[in-house]
Amino acid sequence: MEKYKDTIIRVKPVADQFIQENNITYPISHPLQTLVDLGYYVIKAEAPENLSGFYMKKDKFPFIFVNSTHSLGRQNFSLWHEVYHHYMNHENGISDFNSKSIEEREAEIFAGCIMLPDREIKKLAVKPIDIEFIASVSASYQMSFNAVAVRFMQEQYIGYETYQEMSKLSAVENAEILHDLYEKQSLSADILKSTNDIKISENIMQVLSDNYESGKAKQHTVNEIIGRIEGLKNV
């Protein structure tokens, strides 16, 4: 497998092209709605912890599922991770962030570059890059603390050892410390928390409604689809 830095060099232009093609503006304050506006069909629901999300294309519809038991920051990252699989015409499938596959590495880098591209980093990196700074960028750009630290490390604004020290704050046992860091700066800590909710984007509900109205789907079929989504946590 190629070196990590070489994958970054290869994937960053892909992210830049996607940003330009879709005229994305920053910060992306509402990632889910942004993706709906771009034509994606999104579902968030509780699911087993080891499932971050998956992408599936059915006919002309690109569907993205994200696990709402994860923190909001991770959910947002997962959304863009799945977009990469669609954008690159990858096969349908579940994403595993622990996978060593090159496709998963690419999707991870793409997601970070979409959420916090180079030009935004250059605008932001005029202040000392400490943990307070990383937390403030996290809240502004709706990213996890660790995802922001990764981007500044990738662009060499902080060294790898500094990143490793910062990343320790993202460990489960340090959740309270990280939460206090946000509160002390009057930052919303929502990005650190799980939402544990079910969200079905309005375009999916419109498709279901249209199919029902046109007789293509019976009421029990629509109810069954929604029921299966609600039951994902027990899979």
pLDDT tens readout for residues 44-65 = 999 988 889 999 988 888 999 9
DSSP 39: T
Identify the pLDDT of residue 220: 77
Q: Are strands 61-67 and 199-200 parallel, antiparallel or unpaired?
A: unpaired
pTM for the whole thing? 0.90
Identify the pLDDT of residue 229: 66
Q: Give percent above pLDDT 70 in the chain.
A: 91
Mean pLDDT for the stretch of residues 209-226: 74
Residue type at position 185: Q
Q: Which residue has the higher pLDDT, 222 or 153?
A: 153
Residues 230, 74: Cα–Cα separation, whole Å: 20
Evaluate if residue 235 carries a pLDDT over 60: no
> Per-residue confidence at 215, pLDDT binned at 50, 70, 90?
confident
User: Tokens 């569907």 belong to which residue?
Assistant: 63
The length of the chain in residues reads 235
Residues 43, 68: Cα–Cα separation, whole Å: 9
Mean pLDDT for the stretch of residues 93-120: 87
Q: Give percent above pLDDT 90 in the chain.
A: 74
The CB density around residue 142, as the number of other CB atoms within 10 Å, is 21
> Per-residue confidence at 130, pLDDT binned at 50, 70, 90?
very high
Domain boundaries, the chain: 4-234
Determine which of 84-93, 113-122, 166-175, 217-226 has the lowest per-residue pLDDT on average: 217-226
Q: Which residue has the higher pLDDT, 231 or 146?
A: 146
Evaluate if residue 36 carries a pLDDT over 90: yes
Evaluate if residue 214 carries a pLDDT over 80: yes
User: Tokens 């968030």 belong to which residue?
Assistant: 44
Residues 69, 193: Cα–Cα separation, whole Å: 9
Angle in degrees, CA 42, 107, 86, rounded to 5: 45
Identify the pLDDT of residue 50: 87
